[in-house]
Amino acid sequence: MSSIRVEPSPAALAVTAYSPPPFGRPVTLKLDANEGAAPGAGLDELLAGVGPGDLSGYPNARGLEAALARDLGVGSERIVVTAGADDAIERILRAVLWEGRNAVLPVPTFEMIGRYAKMTGGDIRPVEWMEGPLPVDRMLERVDAGTGAVCVVTPNSPTGLAATADDLRRLSRAAPTALLVVDLAYTEFATEDLTGCVLELENGLAIRTMSKAWGLAGLRVGYAAGPQEVVGWMRSLGHPYAVSSLSLKVAGALLERRGEVAERVSGTRRRRDELAGLLADLGMGCGPSEGNFVLAATRRAGEIREELAARGVAVRSFPGDPLLEDRLRITIPTSDGDMALLAGALREASRACGAEGGDAG
């Protein structure tokens, strides 16, 4: 037992360290974290132009911010590069939430949003969204004068459900004194990219990442785009050198390779449809998904996860979550070969669990 006598803040006691369910055996096919395919270019090619000054000097994100701003058709003062989307979410929630304030958000959703909100001392007002359209009316019922943020992840993780531009406009108009925080981490895989819609809203903030479709999860490059004043708050509340020079160089180089990213996204969408069909054949429910993952429904979720793990395949389960305890989130494999491995493992796991036919949760 620790003998430390320092008293922690309420925030330190309100949350526990993030830790997905561990795997007690080797993993050969990691499909539990929604990571994207690695860039096709070689590392030497992506790091061309990196010099000693990039290692010895502090990084400067202004070049990447300017390039992203050009892509989005806005001024660079409306863009801030962050250490992944997580960093952007934490900064903005610290800006608009504190004790007595609240955030309204659909659940289940990206777990870190709730964690960061709790760290501010603010309250969370959840609205269940397990199927169908975004429950805009029910969300607005929970908005009041103390609402600092309305958060929407679209496509949503872990469900894969997507909001529409009309949904976002309704939320923005009906809650003008709250910031509409729209996490678009998976937008490249969706039918419609809502970034432009968010940027048209006076109280809208779009959060993007290069961790998913761009395959840079290990480099931690994200960004937020919104009103200049809001972006200014985020600059004030973040680290001055949040993203390394190497990460900035690689991200900038990849922006010139959008065609490669689009090709990988197309393959992911095709395999997403294949996986949905396979799960249906195996008797597992699988709703529509617009992310690089699907959410499978089966009463044997824990057993199938373990059977897949025994075959070297890691998928995400949600033990203890009443909304998701009969669900498995499966990242779409990034190659046809890995898709074949997953398909074989799923068939074997389903047979081992006796799960074929009529098992949908």
pLDDT digits (tens, 9 = 90+) for 140-170: 999 999 999 999 999 999 999 999 999 999 9
For 146, the enclosing helix (H) or strand (E) is none
299 touches 361 (CB < 8 A): yes
Return the pLDDT at 106: 98
Is the pLDDT at 177 greater than 80? The verdict is yes
Q: How far apart are CA 347 and CA 280, in angstroms?
A: 12
pLDDT in tens, 100-144: 999 999 999 999 999 999 999 999 999 999 999 999 999 999 999
| Edge-to-edge strand ranges of the sheet holding 29-31 | 29-31, 313-317, 327-331, 293-297, 285-286
The CATH classification of domain 10-31+259-353, taken from the options 3.40.1710.10, 3.50.50.60, 3.90.1150.10, 3.40.720.10 = 3.90.1150.10
Who wins on pLDDT, 140 or 42?
140
Domain coordinates in residue numbering, the chain: 10-31+259-353, 49-255
Return the pLDDT at 331: 98
> 18-27, 186-195, 222-231: lowest mean pLDDT where?
18-27
> 80-89, 127-136, 256-265: lowest mean pLDDT where?
256-265
316 touches 33 (CB < 8 A): yes
Q: How far apart are CA 30 and CA 313, in angstroms?
A: 6
Is the pLDDT at 264 greater than 90? The verdict is yes
Is the pLDDT at 8 greater than 50? The verdict is yes
pLDDT band at 10 (very low <50, low <70, confident <90, very high): confident
Which are the contacts of 57, defined by CB distance < 8 A and separation ≥ 6?
A: 245
Percent of the chain residues past pLDDT 90, beyond the cut: 83
115 touches 86 (CB < 8 A): no
Per DSSP (E only), the strands in 155-305 are 179-183, 204-209, 222-225, 285-286, 293-297
C-alpha of 171 from chain center: 21
Q: How far apart are CA 126 and CA 7, in angstroms?
A: 30
| Coil/strand/helix, residue 342 | helix
pLDDT band at 1 (very low <50, low <70, confident <90, very high): low
Return the pLDDT at 361: 53
**pTM of the predicted protein model:** 0.94
pLDDT band at 358 (very low <50, low <70, confident <90, very high): very low
For 227, the enclosing helix (H) or strand (E) is none
Average pLDDT, the chain: 93
pLDDT in tens, 307-344: 999 999 999 999 989 999 999 999 999 999 999 999 99
Which are the contacts of 156, defined by CB distance < 8 A and separation ≥ 6?
A: 106, 109, 110, 129, 162, 163, 291
Please give the CATH topology (third level) of the domain spanning 49-255: Aspartate Aminotransferase; domain 2 (3.40.640)
Q: How far apart are CA 184 and CA 155, in angstroms?
A: 7
Apex CA 56: angle with CA 53 and CA 59, to 5°? 75
What's 115's DSSP letter? H
Q: Are strands 222-225 and 79-82 parallel, antiparallel or unpaired?
A: antiparallel
Radius of gyration over every alpha carbon of the chain, rounded to an integer in angstroms: 21
Per DSSP (E only), the strands in the chain are 29-31, 79-82, 102-107, 123-128, 147-153, 179-183, 204-209, 222-225, 285-286, 293-297, 313-317, 327-331
